[in-house]
Amino acid sequence: MPQNMKSTRVNVIPTMRYKDAGAAVKWLCDAFGFERHMVIEGEGGRIAHAQLRYGNGMIMLGSTGAGDYSALVRPPDGPEAVNTQSAYIVVVNPDAHYQRSVAAGAVIVLDIKDEDYGGRGYSCRDPEGHIWNFGNYDPWQEH
């Protein structure tokens, strides 16, 4: 660990922007099982900053709008747009997680399957087009 790093649960936290971050927070919790850690509302019901936990991991998100960061990071240009990055989340039971995601309306883009390198997983889109990857492959475990 670099000497300038503090001891923390995780030190890589994906961040993203949503057009309707309030709806995204609810959907991500309902569909994927994230839990609210902190949600700060801004003006006009927008989400200034949100932190959602999954196990010992976290994502941060907020509403699109004016500001330096929003000038750099935007949601996909539509529900089928190409993404330039995505998150992989380790889950205990990928089949049950897949069913939960489908029931909530996630669009499956890579169906659930066993991977050649180990583990089982799938990829999907949320309502604003962000790509999410879920599986039980844990790169920290001995293989």
Question: 77-115 pLDDT, tens per residue?
Answer: 887 899 999 999 999 999 999 999 999 999 999 999 999
Residue 71, pLDDT score: 87
Question: 1-25 pLDDT, tens per residue?
Answer: 455 555 667 789 999 999 999 999 9
Q: Which residue has the higher pLDDT, 43 or 137?
A: 137
Residue 1, pLDDT score: 45
Residue 117 pLDDT > 50, yes or no?
yes
Residue 67, pLDDT score: 79
- Strand-pair partners of 25: none
Domains and their CATH numbers in the chain = 15-135 (3.10.180.10)
Q: What is the pTM of this model?
A: 0.91
**Concatenated DSSP letters of the chain:** --TTPPP-S-S---EEEETTHHHHHHHHHHHH--EEEEEEE-GGG-EEEEEEEETTEEEEEEE--SSTTTTT----SSTTPPPS--EEEE-S-HHHHHHHHHHTT-EEEEEEEE-TTS-EEEEEE-TT--EEEEES--TTS--
Question: 28-70 pLDDT, tens per residue?
Answer: 999 999 999 999 998 888 999 999 999 999 999 999 987 788 8
